[in-house]
């Protein structure tokens, strides 16, 4: 699953710089995560860095975007130009 930021976000912006895929940006009211870029840090880190630094625990799994660990890793490979060619 991709991550999402809930409306408990306090706009502290510490999560934005932690994202290795640049998936986090300032939205109209709160920060948002682009699910097309979010890999939950798979391929980069052992844990989701935005979740680790969020002071209010407002970053959660997005129940509308179900992805397996393998799918997230494939997305990481594609985003970093390492996609496997068949």
Instruction: Give the per-residue pLDDT at 85.
Output: 58
How many domains does the chain fold into?
A: 1
Instruction: Give the per-residue pLDDT at 12.
Output: 97
Burial environment of residue 32 by CB neighbours within 10 A (0 to 12, 13 to 18, 19 or more): middle
Pairing of strands 3-5, 59-61: antiparallel
Per-residue pLDDT of the chain (86 residues; tens, 9 = 90+): 789 999 999 999 999 999 999 999 999 999 999 999 999 999 999 999 999 999 999 999 999 999 999 999 999 999 999 876 55
- Whether residue 65 lies inside any domain: the answer is yes
- Whether residue 84 lies inside any domain: the answer is no
The CATH number of the domain holding residue 45 is 3.30.70.20
HSE-CB for 26 with a 13 A CA cutoff: 5
Place of tokens 């939950």: 40
């Amino acid at each position: 699953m991709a991550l999402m930021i809930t409306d408990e976000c306090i706009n502290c912006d510490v999560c934005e710089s932690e994202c290795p895929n640049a998936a986090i940006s300032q939205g109209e009211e709160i920060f948002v995560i682009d699910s097309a870029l979010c890999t939950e840090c798979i391929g980069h880190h052992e844990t989701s860095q935005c979740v680790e630094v969020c002071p209010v625990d407002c970053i959660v799994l997005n129940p509308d975007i179900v992805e397996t660990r393998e799918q997230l890793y494939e997305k990481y490979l594609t985003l970093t130009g390492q996609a496997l060619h068949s």
